[in-house]
Amino acid sequence: MSNLRCFGIEGCDADQKSPFSFTPQRLHVNKDHPLFEDGDIYRHMYLQNLTASETDDQPKLSVSEFGCHISGCRQLLRSVEEYEHHYASLHRHTCSSCRRCFPSARLLDVHIEEWHDSLFNILSHSRDMYQCLVEGCGLKFRTSTQRKDHLIKVHKYPPDFRFDKAKREHGKEIKPQRKQSSSVEVMQGVCESASDVCEDMCAAERDQQEEDMEAMELQGPSGPGAQGSPCVGTSAGQQATETGSDWQKPRYSYRVPATVCFGQGSVRGFRGRGRRK
Amino acid sequence: MWRLSSVRHKAAPQGRSVEESKLKRREQEKVLRQARKDRQLVSKRLLLSDDEDDDDAPTPMDADSGDRVVGLVHQLQHSSHEKEPQLKALSKALRNPSAQTIFIKQENSMHLLVGLLSGSQAQWRLLAAQCLHELSQSHQPNVTLACLPATPYLLTYLSGQSTKFTERCLYTLGNLCPDSDVIRDKLLAQGIVPALKKCMESQRYNLAVVEAVGFTLSQLLQAKDAAEKIIPMVLASGLHSHLLSVLTPDPQFGLAPAIECAWCLHYLTCSTVDNSALRAEGALSRCSSLLVTLGDAVSKGNKEDGMELLVWPLLRSVGNLLSSGPTEDMSSQVGHLHLLPTLCALARAYLPSQPALARESTWVLNNLTADSRELCVALLDLNLIPDLIQLLPFSQGINTMVLRVLGNVAHKTNSYCSRLAQAGLVPALCATLRMSEPDIVVLSLEVLFMLLAGCPQVAEEFVKQDGITLLEAIQYNGEGEIRQRAAHLLEHHLPS
């Protein structure tokens, strides 16, 4: 089947071949078909005088599991509610640049702004740009440390609440520090399909994702003293919507290309079409 | 209503605890499943003789049993009048597999038995038949092959009038059938099919014999080469019409004869695609109406012991008879209309205990609805869609088949789509779209496509159920055919 995405082409031909192929069909089932196995066994158990009584304890009925659709995420779930929770928690608000996911669109936006927006990077030197994370507060701060202090003092966040991306000790490579000035150009060079975004994100270790969730995923600027967070895969340099045609098998690498910087990248993250504007 | 009276079998030896029996059942089940995979699923039945207690423990294997057999044969060969006690003892001894081997190795032992079987003494005939019956239990090819000289006589006695004796001969033949091509070819050449037919005709009021005929025939029909060699013979002889006439269970005797005949019908219908001979005899309506009666009983809560054994082959026969044949047949038979609620009731009733049976019910529903507009609209009119939707959580082929049925309905015409939506299909699809099995997701997308294409209001409802987010996520699925379908729906059938 040919791919049908029309990327930004107006008046796309609606008569494109439909991928749908269902036709009603009567099915003849042959004697040896697996569909008939259980019944045949039941029949022969009867012939051999071994039919089960009511007290037989074998559970036979099974319910379909739900499974996260995002390719590479093999999570199985037991109900629609679990599915929704999983998806909303781990896939919906995901930054395509660094694969971190956030519990809400706003926090994702804040993250993208602070981490991947070069304009922010520039402006933050001269004015207060770090927003308070609490909805409705509106205050801004010059550094992320100041913001953190504000969150603890005024909004009573626990002092041990993780704000900074700590060094990862999960067997991943620790990315060496990067100088800010070199950050801007570097990102352009990395062109991976967005399919890696979700795959790599999902393939990250569970506890990292949980940590990400808790910490609301913000990090201070990567100045000389700060530590960058290690990337768990290659960075995506494109918008996800451009890559519908080239789905490849998940490629997942822990190694960080030398040219990639995770301080403040220059690329806006992917927020998915589901993002309501 | 109907009682299942099984053939009097060897009871489980006393002293076995419930746990041990369960373990044995589970192990035997594993063995049977493997045998089926190897296409060597064979079972034999043992008919206890009248004067035996069910409590008789199987003869223990000891060093003497071989000698005992040798001694008994010797005595039988050399005494001229007193044979009964020895024959009785011999038949008991022959329960032991190693004794069986020793017996057939003994010179002229089979010759002796055949002589007694064909002799003039009725009681000796009966006892000799008993010995052969024990030998037929063996799964060792050399033992059953050794019984071949007896088969012409066994066949001859099928037209006799002594029903107990006939029964025993039948079960012996039935046990011998599955073991080898050589035996089967010989039996076919010796005229087993006409003999079975004649027996069934003349003994049709003796339900124990009818059951035995059914069993023997079912053993023949399970052979690997049945479709080429045996089934044409059976159809040519007209035996199938007798099978059909026996299908209604007798309230007093029980389900057993109907069970055997129904399984024969199943083997006939599933082995060949062209079932015109069976259809000509009214097989479809006969099986359907019986299924409806059974379904009625089941939905009223009268689930008799062993009813699955009869429902199962009937479902399969109906399913396969429906799978071929002209489509006009569908709506012209009123019986099909009654089948619709029956199948739903059977699926619901057997879902917890026999989900495979529920699955086969939905398969029959598929075959009914695939090519018939009338039956699809009947499904809607009889308000059966919610019942089907309730089956959607269940796996192992149940939900995929139900989705096919729903697809059959949606495919027919646009007006059915809106009625399907009214019956609550859209939220159900939102659930199945989240399932992990790719087949389910693809079918769900297909059904959704038909609904959206047929009824624009569905789009509204789908969007309200957060369907767009769901489809967007589905675009990241690992399977290309899933991604493409989701993308197409987003592109062409849903507001952006």
Read off the pLDDT of residues B153-170 as tens digits, 9 standing for 90 and up: 999 999 988 999 999 999
For chain B (length 496 residues), average pLDDT per consecutive 10?
46 60 87 91 83 51 74 85 89 91 92 93 93 94 94 94 92 94 95 96 92 96 91 93 91 91 96 84 91 92 86 96 76 77 95 94 96 92 96 94 96 90 95 94 96 92 92 88 93 86
CB contact under 8 A, B29 and A27: no
Contact with chain A for residue B485, Cβ under 8 A: yes
3-state secondary structure of A77: strand
Dist CA B169 CA B172 (whole Å) = 5
CB contact under 8 A, A83 and B394: no
Q: How confident is the model at residue A3 (pLDDT cuts 50, 70, 90)?
A: very low
3-state secondary structure of A181: helix
Q: What is the mean pLDDT of the segment spanning A125-152?
A: 89
Work out the minimum CA distance from B127 to partner chain A, whole angstroms.
23
pLDDT the model gives residue B4: 53
Work out the minimum CA distance from B395 to partner chain A, whole angstroms.
5
pLDDT the model gives residue B438: 93
pLDDT the model gives residue A199: 34
Tokens matching residue B314? 């009937």
Work out the minimum CA distance from B191 to partner chain A, whole angstroms.
25
Q: What is the mean pLDDT of the segment spanning A19-39?
A: 94
Q: Which residue has the tokens 């309200």?
A: B464
B contacts of A61 (beta carbons < 8 Å): 351-352, 355, 394
If one compares A225 and A71, the residue with the highest pLDDT of the two is A71
3-state secondary structure of A131: strand
Q: Which helix (H) or strand (E) holds B75?
A: helix B63-78
Q: What is the mean pLDDT of the segment spanning A112-130?
A: 90
pLDDT the model gives residue B136: 95
B contacts of A66 (beta carbons < 8 Å): 431, 434-436
Q: Which residue has the tokens 């939102």?
A: B430
Contact with chain A for residue B91, Cβ under 8 A: no
B466: CB partners within 8 A, 6+ apart: B430
**Nearest CB partner across the interface for A87, out of B24, B360, B473:** B473
B296: CB partners within 8 A, 6+ apart: B342, B345
Dist CA B69 CA B88 (whole Å) = 12
If one compares A44 and B51, the residue with the highest pLDDT of the two is A44
Q: How confident is the model at residue A55 (pLDDT cuts 50, 70, 90)?
A: low
Q: How confident is the model at residue A16 (pLDDT cuts 50, 70, 90)?
A: low
3-state secondary structure of B250: strand
Q: ipTM score of the complex?
A: 0.91
Q: Which helix (H) or strand (E) holds B356?
A: helix B355-369
A contacts of B360 (beta carbons < 8 Å): 35-36, 39
3-state secondary structure of A62: coil
| A and B: number of Cβ contacts within 8 A | 214
Q: What is the mean pLDDT of the segment spanning A1-8?
A: 31
Q: Using one digit for the tens of pLDDT, what is the confidence trace for B287-330?
A: 999 999 999 999 888 877 789 999 999 999 999 999 987 776 55
